[in-house]
Every structure is written in C-alpha cells, then in structure tokens.
Amino acid sequence: MRHIYITAQSCVAGMLLTEDICTEAGACLIPKGTYITETLEKKVKRFRLKPIQVEIYDDNIVVEEISGFEKDIKKREMSEELTQSYTEAKQEVKEVLDTINSGKSLDSRNVDHALVNIRKNVHDSFDVLKCIDSIRTVDEYTYAHCVNVSLLAMTLAKWLGCDAKSVEEIAKAGLLHDVGKAKVDTNILNKKGSLLPEELEEIQNHTTYGYRMIENMYDISKGIKMAVLMHHERTDGSGYPLGAKDDQIHQYAKVLAIADVYDAMTSDKVYSKRKSVFEVLKYMQDEMANQLDRIMLKVFIERIVCHYIGDYVMLNTGEIGELMHVNPLNPLKPIVKVQNVFVDLTYEKDVELSELLWDYSKYMYTDPR
C-alpha cells in the first residue's frame, strides 16, 4: 500500500481517496474514502483541481508522486504562538472599532496593544505570509484586513530599507487605515450588489472620517495621519479623497496602498470572492502600474514571489510544477520544474502562474474597496 499525493489528472481507477476532492470553489466533488472507478476517473480529469491524496493497493498502478507536497503544506502552517498573536491582534482591532461604533473616542493604547501582539511572534516575512495565507472567514474580514495590511505594510517597509521608526509608524498606520469605516453604514459596506453613486461616495468618505478621528491626537504622528487619509490616492491622480499625484502622496500612504490592494483582492468578502496570489500580483503589475508607486510595487512583487520558491504551483495550462527560480526582471515569469523538466516562463508567452496549490480562490475580480 502506498499513501501519496498525485496530480488530479494522474488519477486512475483502483485508487482510494484519502481526502475530499473539491472544486476551485471549495465544493466537495468526491468524498474521501471513495474508490476511483473508470467513470470517476473521467469525472475528476474534467476538472482542474489541486493535487489529491490517495492510497494505492495495486502495485501494477504506476503514477508519478508529487514528493514533498505534504511537507510543504505543513511548512506553511502557523505555529500555536503565531496563531494566538494573530487572533489577539484581530480582537484588539475589533475592540477599537466597536468602541468607535459605540460613540466613544479612539484610544490609541488599544492600537498599541494590537501592534505588540502582531510583533510578538512574527519573526520574519515568512511568518507574515503564513498569516496572510491563513484561512479567513468572511465575517472577520474587517478586522483581519486591518491586521494583514499592517503586517504587509510593515514587511514592505523593511524590504524598502526604511528606518525602524518609519517601519513602526507604517505598521501602526496599517492598523488604523480603515478605522473610518466604523462611521460608514454596515449595510453599505457589506452590500452584495453594485453600489449606488451616493453609497460609493459614502464608502470613499472613510478615509476622511478616519483622518478626522485622529487629526488632533498628539500621540499619532503626522505621517500616520497622512497615511490614513491618503491610502486610496493613486499616483496618476485617479484616487481619493484629494486626487493627489506622485510626490503629493505621502510615502507611508504609498506603502499602505500596495498592502491594502493586495490583501483586499486575496480575501473573501461578502460581496466578492478572493483571487489567487499570482492573479492579484499580475493585476497589480499590469493594470495598476500607473496607480501604485512603481519602485515599491516591483520590490513587493519580486519578494512575494520569491517567498514561494520551492513550493508547488499550478500553471494556467493545468500543469503542476515546483517554483525553482525567480527572474528579477520579470518575477511573474519564473522557472518552474514540471515533471523534471525546467520550464522558463520568460520564453513561454502563453504560460503563466495560476495559483498556489493551497489557494482555493476562484478566478473572479475582487473589488478592493
């Protein structure tokens, strides 16, 4: 008996499933404990699925195993300590927003407590991405988003070589960046359909609401205040609330803008489904190059992709491969090992990274409100 991971396209009759086979949307297609018949084999191969876990009793069945896949999944799991710190940070953010909703003033000490929880067991950028890649429920999106943006912005600031004080302030700005949404009607924030013009305007007002909450707080720096106000500004002038361009936008806000878009688009929300990591990075590179700081964005994309070297990815062809090397000139066109063949996507114009194998997102545009 062999207990292995294989690509879904490699399954053959006679195998026993030892975990559920799910569609990209997360729906159970075939439950674990099912023996693959010839009919089921054809059914499975019609879907583009993540690798599956099987037991093989017949030694005559020859199939290529994806070695190391189980190990790589475990490598991405959060430790108990990191999980606790992340959970506590989200709770602190929830308390901050609940306090504001109750009509009380913002207490920056609660934000500082959340920062302590964030840093307590986050030792490096691998820990940051474990948090970002962790399973998140729609209900906790608002709180997780604030923590995730803080983590991502803090990490990007370090990658950019910012000094310790700036890194600290950017992390705090990330926690506070959406605090103004506490003043926006939740029915508008969570509306599933298209927003009316006046509803969109009200949501966009969250940057101004947030700024006014902290405008006169002596223990919050000017840079943090500007980041809260300007994190939806775009370098081409298409953002809000000021329509600021290029150098008119505070550096902290430029960092937050990248972290905010990335986390919003890779998260499930009540009004939209998340997109895969690589789809989001490609969207940011191709569609937002004139809206986000180009230098910061280039660093962000390269470092994010580099973190997944050694992990398994799915290509848009449906093939499974191991990400081996990142081209610094075009990070989204790396070298991927597919069945012991090294494929340089730089020279494969129609082949692209599609998703990480544990990323179950659907390929839909996600509204980064």
Q: pLDDT tens for residues 202-250?
A: 999 999 999 999 999 988 999 999 999 999 999 999 999 999 999 999 9
In a domain, 311, yes or no: no
Residues 299 and 152 occupy one common structural domain: yes
Tokens 């009919």, located at residue: 39
For 334, the token pair is 């790396």
Residues 264 and 173 occupy one common structural domain: yes
DSSP string spanning 269-288?
A: BTTB----HHHHHHHHHHHS
Out of 13, 38, 67, pick the residue that ends a domain: 67
Residues 170 and 39 occupy one common structural domain: no
Query: What is the SS3 assignment for 135-177?
Result: CCCHHHHHHHHHHHHHHHHHHHHHHCCCCHHHHHHHHHHHHHC
Q: How confident is the model at residue 366 (pLDDT cuts 50, 70, 90)?
A: very low
Residues 150 and 30 occupy one common structural domain: no
Residues 82 and 44 occupy one common structural domain: no
Domain that holds residue 7: 2-67
Count the domains in the chain: 2
Number of Cβ within 10 Å of residue 211's Cβ equals 19
In a domain, 308, yes or no: no
pTM: 0.78
Mean pLDDT for all residues in the chain: 83
CA 217-220-108 angle, to 5 degrees, is 75
Residues 155 and 176 occupy one common structural domain: yes
In a domain, 240, yes or no: yes
In a domain, 38, yes or no: yes
Distance CA 56, CA 129 (A): 34
Q: Distance of CA 93 to CAs 89, 97, 140, 151, 307, Å?
A: 6, 6, 11, 13, 27
Out of 14, 46, 67, pick the residue that ends a domain: 67
- The partner residues of 22 in beta bridges, in order of sequence, read 28
In a domain, 340, yes or no: no
Out of 67, 89, 108, pick the residue that ends a domain: 67
- The partner residues of 314 in beta bridges, in order of sequence, read 320, 355
Residues 105 and 136 occupy one common structural domain: yes
Q: pLDDT of 6-61, one tens digit each?
A: 777 677 888 888 877 765 555 677 888 888 888 888 777 766 566 778 888 776 77
